[in-house]
Structure 1
Amino acid sequence: MTESAQQPQKNVLIVTAHPEPRSLNAALADFAAEHLRAAGHEVRTSDLYAMKWKATLDADDYPDHPADQRLHVLDAAGRATAEGRLSPDITAEQEKLLWSDAVILQFPMWWFSVPGILKGWIDRVFTYGFAHGPGMPPPYSNGGLAPRRALASVTFGAHEPSFSDRGVHGRLKDVLFPLHHGLFWFTALAPLEPFAMYDVNEAPDDRFEPAKLEYADRLDHLFTDEPIPFRTLDGGDYDHDMRLLPDVQTAATSGPDIHLRPRG
């Protein structure tokens, strides 16, 4: 029996973004769903391409917004969220997030970011008043969508060494910082270390079996692995301008690493 099977039943939302249903990303999403269900967890999926997800945020997201008024997105989203008058497709995805104990984003890395359809899901679903905003604790803390967890499962065409400290693409942790810190941690989703597959454009079919074993281990520890230890905004490490205080910065750290709490 796996460690995952011994854990209490949890709810997991898998959001996948790839236009080809026979792709590696689709196979990884299907495998994750099957593995988690076999361990006793409940799983829901949002296959954004299959859903024909509307990627662009616009006034149609807020059906009661007066047509003769300028669209101030934050205000309009906040009012529509508070009044329960968001577009039904947004409301359905928010309900899935609230239902979940963990969310997995499955996607290929395109131009150092998520595919546009997934960015549109983020833009439209994480509304002001739902994932952040009035009546909630400050961002980058334990409020918002806590105590849910978040895992990015990402495929790359590039070689793994190219996403290293001397790699031409930069460190993977820096490339994913906007997702891990700017989305997950901003809304208090506890960000886990990513699951990554490299060289996927040239990968032979027999690479999927060992990858499944590695991914299964990550899924078995979805609710027990330690999250990335980002600092909390309200923990005394930042000033009123949200700047890290000089005396708490760990020696010899720079860039995004300064926002990590020392381990141990």
Structure 2
Amino acid sequence: MSNVLIINAHHHYPFSEGRLNGALVQMADELITAKGHTTRVVNIDNEWDVARELENHQWADVVLLQSPVNWMGVPWTFKKYMDEVYTAGMGGQLCNGDGRHADAPKKNYGAGGTLNGKKYMLSLTFNAPEESFNDENEYLFQGKSVDDLFFPMHMNFRFFGMEPLKTFACYDVMKNADVESDFSRFSAHIEETF
């Protein structure tokens, strides 16, 4: 069985209280532990400690990032978490610097990860409808996928040597939410992934 770190990256706003992301975190925690895995849950809006978060990443076999998509990325509070925790981990806890060496200073940027063999999963909630992705005729994403949009986040985890699991997404959650369908799909995704 594996150790799973679940990060709830939601940041509370009056118009977005975080109930959906919170429910998905709770579902993930319950479903994953029912399968015999051990979990730890971190809520970004609560207090957290850099040393403890570095230990959480070293402990985890899988990091599940549950996040709303705010302005095409993660909330600023999770970016702050990354800036503080991930930067502190560059001394070997998460990576050995940026992976380059003095004998080849222009090669292998990003290849210094120390979390090799560990995995991560993105679970995202979008205001955008699913149909706005993977369609060249759609205005904003111009045929790009969810994983294209989240390429920088994938690269952050790759920087640590981690491998991706299949991304999960809920779409159109502000205007045309179908929470029961999302929960059913999420449950199936967790069952298949873990």
TM-score, structure 2 as length reference: 0.81
Give, as a single letter, the amino acid of the residue that structure 1 aligns with 2:139: V
> Out of 106, 115, 140, which is 2:66 matched to?
106
Where has structure 1 moved over 3 Å in runs of 4 or more?
19-22, 134-143
Aligned to 1:154: 124
In structure 2, the gaps of 5 or more residues are: 101-107
- Following superposition, the deviation at residue 193 of structure 1 comes to 2.6
Give, as a single letter, the amino acid of the residue that structure 2 aligns with 1:43: T
Q: SS at 1:14's partner residue? A: strand
Aligned to 2:104: none
Is the contact made by 1:132 and 1:139 (CA closer than 8 Å) also made in structure 2?
no
Alignment of 1:1-264 (within 5 A): 9-20=1-12, 23-51=19-47, 53=48, 89-126=49-86, 127-129=89-91, 130-134=93-97, 143-166=113-136, 167-170=138-141, 171=144, 172-180=146-154, 182-204=155-177, 207-223=178-194
Q: Which has the higher strand share?
A: 2
* Alpha-carbon distance in 1 for matches of 2:18, 2:113: 38
* Alpha-carbon distance in 1 for matches of 2:109, 2:55: 21
Task: Specify the structure having the higher radius of gyration (Cα).
Answer: 1
Give, as a single letter, the amino acid of the residue that structure 1 aligns with 2:4: V
Give, as a single letter, the amino acid of the residue that structure 2 aligns with 1:113: G
* Alpha-carbon distance in 2 for matches of 1:142, 1:34: 34
Aligned to 1:3: none
Q: How many residues align?
A: 176
* Alpha-carbon distance in 1 for matches of 2:69, 2:63: 18
* Alpha-carbon distance in 2 for matches of 1:156, 1:23: 14
- Structure ranking higher on relative contact order (CA contacts 8 Å, 6+ apart): 2
Deviations 1:49-103 (A, max 9, x none): 133x5xxxxxxxxxxxxxxxxxxxxxxxxxxxxxxxxxxx111001111111100
Is the contact made by 2:4 and 2:64 (CA closer than 8 Å) also made in structure 1?
yes
Aligned to 2:103: none
Aligned to 1:257: none
Alignment RMSD (CA, Å): 2.3
- Following superposition, the deviation at residue 118 of structure 1 comes to 0.7
- Following superposition, the deviation at residue 192 of structure 1 comes to 2.0
Is the contact made by 1:136 and 1:144 (CA closer than 8 Å) also made in structure 2?
no
Identity of aligned pairs, percent? 33
* Alpha-carbon distance in 1 for matches of 2:112, 2:181: 35
Bigger shift: 25-34 or 167-176?
167-176
Give, as a single letter, the amino acid of the residue that structure 2 aligns with 1:128: M
TM-score, structure 1 as length reference: 0.61
Give, as a single letter, the amino acid of the residue that structure 2 aligns with 1:222: T
Is the contact made by 2:98 and 2:110 (CA closer than 8 Å) also made in structure 1?
no
In structure 1, the gaps of 5 or more residues are: 1-8, 54-88, 224-264
* Alpha-carbon distance in 2 for matches of 1:134, 1:173: 26
* Alpha-carbon distance in 2 for matches of 1:208, 1:93: 31
Bigger shift: 156-165 or 112-121?
156-165
